[in-house]
Chains A and B, each alone.
Chain A
C-alpha cells in the first residue's frame, strides 16, 4: 500500500464520504487511489470553491468537510476559503500535494510553501515527511479540527510520500481501522468547571439592573442551544445575537431584541448600549458588533463565556471569564440562579419590549421589487429544515436581520472574513446535509464563483440559486451614497444575462421583476427537484438600516437616513 492509498483509507476511517477537489500533477497518485475508493469526488471548477464546499458540509452538518488541491496555484487558490474557515471557527481539512521532497526549496515547478503561507490562517498544519505518518496525521487533523475551538487544518503531502510504500504494520493498522494513537502532547482542552467563577457570575447577575445577553456562534459550536434556552427562559434576560448566533435560540420571543451590531436592530443596539451587565456567550466582541470600543465598554460589566481563553479581555475587560465548553459552563450557571430573578429587571425588560414594537424592521416598499420583499417572501415559505446561505453585502444584512429559524445551522454566511463568492460553493457542500438549500447572492458576489454552476450541473447538486440583482455592488454603493456624496466609483455593474448564463450551464433559470412573479417563482423553486436559478431584478438604490456608521458608538445607531435611536 502506498501513501496515497493510505490517505484514502484514513479518510474513510474518519467517515469521509465526499471530497471537494481539483486535480493536478502533484495529486495524481491520490486521484488514482480515489478511483478505487468509496469516497465521492466533487469536481469543482476553482479550488476556492472546494474550500468553501468543504466548509458548507461542516457548517450544515456536524462533520468535517475535506478539500483537496494540487501544489502551487491549486494550493494558493484554497487560501481564501481556509482563512474564512479560520475566522469563523469552522472545522475543515485541506489537503494539498506538493513537489518531491528533494525538490522542496528549489523553486520547482508549481512549488509553493503552502504551510508557510497558511500559517496565520490555520489551527494547525502538517508537512508529511514520511508516508507512514499519514494515518496518524489524518486522525490528529480530525481531532484538532473539531475539538476545542474548531478550525481548519492543512495537510501538505509531497508527491514522493504519496508514492512511497508504507510499512506492513501501519498498513495492517489502517486496514483494520485500529484506533490510531494521537501524538499531541501540548494540545490542551479546556479545564474543568471553575465554581468560583460560576458563583462570581451569578453574583453579578443578581446585582444587575439592566442585564443583556449577547449570544453567538460558540453556543452552536458547543451544541449548547438547549442550555441557552433554559438559561434565557429561567432568567428572562433580554437577549440579542450576533450574525453567527442566528439559530442559537428561538429568537421570536418577546425578549429577543434582534441582531446586534453595525446593521443590528435599534432595540438590540440600544439595549447593549444602555445595559449595566453584558453576558457574552460564545462571542468574541468583534468590531462589527461593538462599534466604537471605548463607548461600548463604558459603564458596564462583562461576563464572558468562551472556549478560547485568548479571547478573554481581548476587546473588552471581563469581570468574570467562564472558560470551557458552553454546554458545561452555562447550565452550571443556570443552576445557581433562582427562577423569578427576572423580576429584578422587569422595568428594563418592559421598556425594551416597547422599544422593539416602536422600532420594527422595515418590511420594505411594496410598489416595487426589492431585496427585502424577496427575502420576506422566501422566509414565509421556508420549511424548518431549509438552509439559507448568503453571500456578502446588503442582501446578507437584510437576510440576517429577518431570519428567525427554529433550529441552528440553518443560516450559513461568511462572518469574520466577509468573503464575496461564499454563497454558491458553500451551498454545494451544504446539499450533503440532505436538507433543502437556498443560496442567496448579490449580482457582484455571484460572479466571484459563478463557474460553480458547472459543478452544480455536473453533479446535479440541488441548490436553489437566488440572485438579487440590483446592478450595483450594493453595500459599497450604500457607503458611497452616505459618506462619499454619491460618488459611485466602480460600483455600477454591467451584468451578463443571468438567465441565459444559467441555461448555458444546463440549469433551469428564470427571472422575476415584480412581487407577483417573485412569489410564483419562489413557490416553483421550493417544489423544484434539482438545481434551479432565479434572477430577481430588484430596485437599484435601497439602503440597509439600521446602521451604525463605521467607528461610531452603538448609541448612534441610525434607524433611517435621518433618525437615530438616541433622538427617537
Chain B
C-alpha cells in the first residue's frame, strides 16, 4: 500500500481559501487522497483534513507550501495512525433475501452504523468509521451480491489524539 500522511490545516474562514489550497496542491502535482473542510469552533477559522499519498519528505514539502499562503494559521503533518480519523458513508442498498439481511447486519455491526430509512427492500444506512473499515464494509456487501444503489463518502476528518 502507498504511504499516506495527513495534513491538519487551520485557515482563515475567508472566500477563496479552499481554492487557494487545492489549486496549490494540484499545480505542485501532489496526490490528494481526500480533502475535507469545515468551519472551526471559532467562526473566523476553517479546518482542513488533507490526506496525501506520498512519503514524509513530500508531505513536509506540501505543508511548507501551504503554510506560505497568507491565510493559513497552522499546518501539522501527521502519520495517520497518530490521528483520530473518521469518515461518514451514506448508502442505499437493496436486500433481496433473509440471507442478505443477515450479512448486511453483520457488516453493519463491524462499524458504527444506523439504518436511516427503509422503502420496501431498499435500506438507507449511515456508517461512521475509519476509511479502511468502510472499505471493508463495501467489500463484504459486494461479495454477497447485495446491490448498492447509492453510495456517498464524506472524506476523512481527523484530529490529534487528546
Contact = CB atoms under 8 A, between A and B. Distances in A.
Interface of A: 115-116, 119-120, 123-125, 127, 144, 184-188, 308-310, 312-314
A115 B68 contact: no
B61 interface: yes
Given A120-B27, A314-B61, A186 B70 contact: yes
Contact of B64 (A115, A123, A185, A310): A310
Contacts, number: 42
Contact of B70 (A115, A116, A184, A310): A184
A185 B57 contact: no
Contacts of A144: 70
Nearest to B23: A119
B19 A186 contact: no
Contact of B61 (A123, A124, A186, A313): A313
A125 B15 CA distance: 11
A310 B12 contact: no
Nearest to A317: B57
Nearest to A308: B68
Contacts of B65: 310
A371 to B, nearest CB: 37
B61 A310 contact: yes
Given A115-B16, A310-B61, A123 B70 contact: yes
Contacts of B23: 119-120
B70 A124 contact: yes
B133 interface: no
Contacts of A188: 67
Nearest to B11: A186
A529 B120 CA distance: 92
Contact of A186 (B15, B16, B60, B71): B71
A518 B12 CA distance: 59
Contacts of A312: 64
Interface in B56-78: 57, 60-61, 64-65, 67-74
B20 interface: yes
A309 B12 contact: no
A313 B73 contact: no
A186 B73 contact: yes
Contacts of B11: 186
Contacts of A184: 70
A183 to B, nearest CB: 9
Interface string B20-43: 100110010000000000000000
B73 A119 contact: no
Contacts of A186: 11-12, 69-74
A308 B68 CA distance: 8
B57 A313 contact: yes
Contacts of A187: 70
Given A127-B15, A186-B70, A310-B65, 9 more contacts: A119-B23, A124-B70, A144-B70, A184-B70, A187-B70, A309-B64, A310-B64, A313-B57, A313-B60
Given A310-B64, A313-B61, A185 B12 contact: yes
22 contacts: A115-B16, A119-B19, A119-B20, A120-B27, A124-B69, A124-B70, A127-B15, A127-B16, A144-B70, A185-B44, A185-B73, A186-B11, A186-B69, A186-B72, A186-B74, A187-B70, A309-B67, A310-B64, A310-B65, A310-B67, A310-B68, A313-B61
Contacts of B27: 120
A12 to B, nearest CB: 25
A296 B146 CA distance: 58
Nearest to A120: B27
Contact of B19 (A116, A308, A310): A116
B47 to A, nearest CB: 13
Nearest to B70: A124
Nearest to B24: A120
Contacts of B67: 188, 309-310
Contacts of B60: 313
